[in-house]
C-alpha cells in the first residue's frame, strides 16, 4: 500500500474517532524529549469536535458510516416496538401525497381504473419484495447498503452506486417537498406560495435527518399511524362520491397502445417501490444479528407494499372520476391549483379538509428525512476523505440541491414522477441483481447467509473484489435499462419495438427498462465475476 493510501486509511479510521473527543487548541502529546508543540487546528477539526459534542448530547451519529459490531448495538432494538419500526418506518415514508399523486398516472396514460389498480397491486409487491430482501443483510452485517455492495460490485464500482444513490435521494426529497408545498398552499388558500411551502418542508426534514437514526425512528413510529388516519378519512369522503357519480367511460386503449401504457405504468410503480433497495439496510444496523430474517423480510415488504397500494389506489380512483366531477377537475387543473386544492374540494367540511392537509404537508417529511440521511451516508461512503467531513455539512449541501430541484420541477409533478421513477427502477434493479447473484452464487448465501463475508475487511480496498465483474455487470444493467426505457425525453431502441400508438404525438412506446436492466446485469456479471475470482482470487 502506498503512502497516500496509508494516510487515507488513517484519516477515515481511528483518526476520525480521536478528533471528536479533542477540544480545539489542545496540544498533542509528544513522543520524544522535545517540548510539546501546539497542533494547528483547522476549521474541519473544529467542526468535527462540535459534531462529537452533539453526538454525545443528542446522538447525531458522528461515525455513522462505521460498521456496527454486535457488541456495539443498542439492546433496545430487541424490544417489540422498536422492531415494529421495520413496518412503521416504511409505512410513514410511503403513505403520503407523492404516492397518492403517482396513482394519477394510470388515468394520464389512458388506462381504465381496473387495469390501473391491477398494475398498482402487482408492481408494488414485486418492487417491495426486493428491498425486503436487501433489508435482511443489515442486521447480519451491521453495514449500510452501499458498504454491503462493495462485496459484490467491488471497491471502485460501489462508488458509482453511491453517486447514483445520492442523485436518487435528492430526487425523492424533491418529490416529497413539492407535494408538501402543494398541501400548504391549499391550506392557506394560496396565501403561502408553493415555493415557501416547499422550503418549509425541506427545512423540517433537514433538522430530523441531522439528528440521526434515532430521530428518524422516533418520528416515523407515529407519523405512519397519523397518515393512516388521514387516508382512511379521505377514502370515506372520496369513494362514496365516486360511487354516486361513476366515472365517465374512457376511450379504451387496445392492442399495442394498451400494452405500451401498461408497461409504462408498471415501470413507474415498480420503480417507486424498488428504489428503497439502495438504502434499506441503512436503518437495520442496530438490530441484533439473530433477528429473524423472515420477520425482517415480511415486515419490510409489507411496510412498503400495503401503504403504497393504499395511497396509489386512492389516487387512481380519484383521478378516474375527475371527468365526472367538474368541481374536482376545476380545483385540480386550475392555475395555481393541484393535488392540495383537489383534496380540499373532495373533503367536507372545509375545516376538516384544512386540518388533514396540514397533516399531509408533514407526510413528505418522513420521506425527506430518510432521503437526507441516506444520501449524506452515501457521500461519506464514496471516499474515506469525504467521510471525515461531518455528516451535517453534507446534509446542508443536499438541502440546497433539493431546494433548487423542487423549485424547478414544482409545476410538472407527474412528468417528473414518470421520468424519475423509471430511471430509479433501472439502476437499482441492476444494483440488486449483482448483489443477489454474488450472495447466492459466490458466497453460499442459501445456507450460510453472510458467514462468507469478511466483515472486518469492509473498509479495506485490498480485500474487496476489484470490481471487474461487478462493474461490468452493473454497467451492462444500466445500459440495458437505457435501451429499454421510454420517457418523455428519451426512448430506447428496444422500447421502440413495443407499442407505437396512442400517445400525444401518435406514438407511445412500452417501457421495459428494469426488465432489460436485470437481464443484462445477470448475463454479463456471472461470467465476468467467475473470471475475476479465478484471476484475482477475490
pLDDT digits (tens), the chain, 538 positions = 444 444 344 334 443 444 444 444 444 444 445 555 555 567 667 767 666 666 566 556 656 788 999 998 988 888 888 889 899 999 998 998 889 989 999 998 889 999 999 999 999 999 999 999 999 999 999 999 999 999 999 999 999 999 999 998 888 888 888 888 888 888 887 777 777 878 887 887 777 777 666 777 777 778 888 999 999 999 999 999 888 887 776 666 778 888 899 999 999 999 999 999 999 999 999 999 999 999 999 999 999 999 999 999 999 999 999 988 999 998 888 755 678 889 989 998 888 888 988 888 877 778 888 888 899 899 989 988 888 888 878 888 988 898 888 887 766 766 777 677 788 889 999 999 999 999 999 898 888 888 899 999 999 999 999 999 999 999 999 999 999 998 877 889 999 888 765 444 445 688 999 999 999 999 999 999 999 999 888 8
Give residue 403's pLDDT. 86
Spatial contact of 449 and 496, defined as CB atoms under 8 Å apart: no
Predicted pLDDT at 2 = 45
**pLDDT score at 23:** 44
* Distance (Å, whole) CA 423 – CA 481: 8
User: Cβ neighbours of residue 183 under 8 Å, at least 6 residues apart?
Assistant: 97, 197, 339, 340, 343, 357, 358, 360, 361, 363
| Largest separation between any pair of C-alpha atoms in the chain | 91
Q: What is the pLDDT of residue 440?
A: 94
Q: What is the pLDDT of residue 276?
A: 95
**Own/partner long-range contacts of 333-336 (Cβ < 8 Å, ≥24 apart):** 336/185, 336/190, 336/194
**What is the Cα 156 distance to its own chain's centre?**
22
Three-state DSSP class for 499?
strand
Residues 186-212: b if buried by 16+ CB within 10 A, e if exposed: bbeeeebebeebbbbbbebbbebbbbb
Q: How is residue 311 written as a grid cell? A: 395511497
CA dist 247 and 149 (Å) reads 47
Is the bond into 349 cis (omega within 30 degrees of 0)?
yes
Write down the pLDDT at residue 370: 85
Kindly give, in sequence order, each residue whose CB lies less than 8 Å from that of residue 4, ignoring residues fewer than 6 positions away. none
DSSP code at position 323: G
The H or E element that residue 127 is part of is helix 113-135
Alpha carbon distance 431, 193 (integer Å): 39
φ/ψ of residue 142, rounded to 5: 75, 20
CA distance 278 to 108: 29
Question: What letter would DSSP give residue 227?
Answer: H
Q: Give backbone dihedrals phi and psi of 486, rounded to 5 degrees, phi first.
A: -130, 120
- For residue 10, the model assigns a pLDDT of 39
Task: Give the pLDDT confidence score for residue 281 in this predicted structure.
Answer: 94
Q: What SS3 state is found at 467? A: coil
What are residue 499's DSSP bridge partners? 509
User: Would you state the pLDDT for residue 481?
Assistant: 94
Pull the grid cell for residue 494. 428496444
Tell me how crowded residue 285 is: count the other CB atoms within 10 A of its CB: 23
Per-residue pLDDT at 5 = 45
Amino acid at each position: 500500500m502506498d503512502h497516500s493510501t496509508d494516510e487515507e486509511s488513517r484519516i477515515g479510521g481511528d483518526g476520525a474517532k480521536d478528533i471528536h473527543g479533542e477540544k480545539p487548541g489542545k496540544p498533542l502529546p509528544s513522543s520524544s524529549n522535545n517540548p510539546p508543540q501546539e497542533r494547528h487546528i483547522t476549521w474541519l477539526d473544529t467542526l468535527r469536535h462540535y459534531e462529537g459534542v452533539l453526538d454525545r448530547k443528542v446522538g447525531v451519529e458522528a461515525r455513522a458510516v462505521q460498521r456496527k459490531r454486535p457488541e456495539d448495538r443498542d439492546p433496545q432494538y430487541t424490544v417489540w416496538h422498536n422492531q415494529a419500526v421495520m413496518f412503521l418506518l416504511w409505512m410513514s415514508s410511503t403513505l403520503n401525497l407523492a404516492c397518492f399523486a403517482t396513482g394519477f398516472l394510470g388515468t394520464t396514460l389512458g388506462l381504465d381504473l381496473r387495469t390501473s389498480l391491477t398494475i398498482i397491486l402487482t408492481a408494488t409487491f414485486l418492487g417491495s419484495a426486493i428491498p425486503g430482501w436487501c433489508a435482511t443483510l443489515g442486521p447480519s452485517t451491521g453495514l449500510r447498503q452501499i458498504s454491503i455492495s462493495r462485496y459484490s460490485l467491488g471497491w471502485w464500482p460501489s462508488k458509482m452506486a453511491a453517486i447514483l444513490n445520492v442523485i436518487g435521494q435528492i430526487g425523492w426529497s424533491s418529490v416529497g417537498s413539492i407535494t408538501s408545498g402543494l398541501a400548504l398552499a391549499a391550506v392557506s388558500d394560496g396565501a403561502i406560495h408553493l415555493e415557501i411551502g416547499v422550503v418549509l418542508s425541506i427545512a423540517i426534514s433537514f433538522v430530523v435527518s441531522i439528528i440521526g437514526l434515532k430521530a428518524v425512528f422516533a418520528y416515523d413510529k407515529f407519523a405512519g399511524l397519523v397518515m393512516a388516519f388521514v387516508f382512511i378519512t379521505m377514502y370515506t369522503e372520496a369513494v362514496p362520491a365516486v360511487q354516486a357519480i361513476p366515472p365517465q367511460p374512457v376511450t379504451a386503449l387496445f392492442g399495442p397502445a394498451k400494452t405500451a401504457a401498461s408497461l409504462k405504468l408498471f415501470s413507474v410503480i415498480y420503480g417507486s417501490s424498488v428504489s428503497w433497495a439502495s438504502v434499506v439496510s441503512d436503518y437495520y444496523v442496530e438490530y441484533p444479528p439473530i433477528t429473524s430474517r423472515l420477520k425482517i423480510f415480511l415486515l419490510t415488504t409489507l411496510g412498503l407494499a400495503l401503504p403504497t397500494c393504499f395511497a396509489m389506489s386512492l389516487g387512481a380512483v380519484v383521478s378516474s372520476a375527475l371527468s365526472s366531477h367538474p368541481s374536482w377537475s376545476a380545483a385540480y387543473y386550475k392555475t395555481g391549483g393541484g393535488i392540495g386544492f383537489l383534496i380540499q374540494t373532495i373533503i367536507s367540511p372545509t375545516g376538516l379538509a384544512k386540518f388533514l392537509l396540514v397533516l399531509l404537508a408533514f407526510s413528505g417529511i418522513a420521506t425527506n428525512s430518510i432521503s437526507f440521511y441516506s444520501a449524506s451516508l452515501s457521500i461519506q461512503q464514496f471516499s474515506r476523505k469525504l467521510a471525515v467531513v461531518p455528516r451535517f455539512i453534507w446534509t446542508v449541501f443536499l438541502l440546497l440541491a433539493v431546494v433548487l430541484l423542487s423549485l424547478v420541477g414544482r409545476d410538472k409533478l407527474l412528468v417528473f414522477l414518470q421520468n424519475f421513477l423509471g430511471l430509479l427502477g433501472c439502476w437499482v434493479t441492476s444494483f440488486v441483481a449483482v448483489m443477489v447473484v454474488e450472495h447466492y452464487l459466490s458466497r453460499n448465501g442459501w445456507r450460510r447467509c453472510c458467514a462468507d463475508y469478511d466483515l472486518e475487511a469492509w473498509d479495506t480496498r485490498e480485500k474487496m473484489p476489484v470490481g471487474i465483474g461487478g462493474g461490468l455487470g452493473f454497467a451492462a444493467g444500466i445500459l440495458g435499462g437505457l435501451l429499454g426505457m421510454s420517457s418523455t425525453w428519451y426512448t430506447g431502441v428496444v422500447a421502440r419495438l413495443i407499442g407505437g400508438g396512442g400517445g400525444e404525438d401518435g406514438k407511445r412506446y412500452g417501457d421495459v427498462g428494469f426488465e432489460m436492466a436485470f437481464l443484462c446485469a445477470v448475463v454479463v456479471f456471472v461470467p465476468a465475476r467467475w473470471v475475476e475470482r479465478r484471476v484475482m482470487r477475490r
